Chain A
């Protein structure tokens, strides 16, 4: 069965919604009118990412030769535009000798993973499951 124009428009909007939610944490919830939730994500997730960078965490490179580093890089990327801004400004080099290095990595990785959950939540809300 072929998709109708309305279905295609709806799926296009859904993709755009998820992309916006990924790029800017909470943007999807704002879009769907859930402003208080969106505001919490907009503040909490970039702040968590910023703390990770500030305590010398590392933004991992995409090295497929080392699967764990590749997965960590994928998780870091989950935070969206903030990742690219931090990379462009030269942050996230990491300082392996710092006491807080591992904690910094945990903050960066978990901030990205939580934003991925936020994107899934937006998708569920848009599909009427929540």
Chain B
């Protein structure tokens, strides 16, 4: 849950800084948010076999 909130805020701010028009912001932010979530899931599974 915290990961999703974190990804949302970071994507929102980056999208607003990087793009000026609403559609561009939505596309950039959505892509970044999806990238955050996808990379977290992938890295989580990659780390799964390793003990702490």
Task: Tell which of A14-22, A43-51, A88-96 binds the partner.
Answer: A43-51
The count of chain A contact residues (Cβ–Cβ below 8 Å) is 20
Check A117 against B13 for contact (C-beta < 8 Å): yes
Check B2 against A114 for contact (C-beta < 8 Å): no
Q: Is the interface of B mostly helix, strand, loop or mixed?
A: helix
CB contact between B13 and one of A55, A106, A114 (< 8 Å): that residue: A114
Flag B1-28 by CB within 8 Å of A: 1 or 0 each: 0100110011011101100100000000
CB neighbours (8 Å) of B10 from chain A are: 110, 114
Check A100 against B17 for contact (C-beta < 8 Å): no
Check A45 against B13 for contact (C-beta < 8 Å): yes
Q: Is the interface of A mostly helix, strand, loop or mixed?
A: helix
CB neighbours (8 Å) of A40 from chain B are: 12-13, 16
**Which residue of chain B lies nearest to A37 when distances are taken between CB atoms in the complex?**
B16
CB neighbours (8 Å) of A44 from chain B are: 9, 12-13
The residues of B with any CB-CB pair to A shorter than 8 Å are 2, 5-6, 9-10, 12-14, 16-17, 20
The residues of A with any CB-CB pair to B shorter than 8 Å are 37, 40-41, 44-45, 47-48, 51, 55, 100, 103, 106-107, 110-111, 114, 117-118, 121, 130
Known: A44-B12, A107-B6. 6 other contacts (CB 8 A): A41-B16, A44-B9, A47-B9, A100-B2, A114-B10, A114-B14
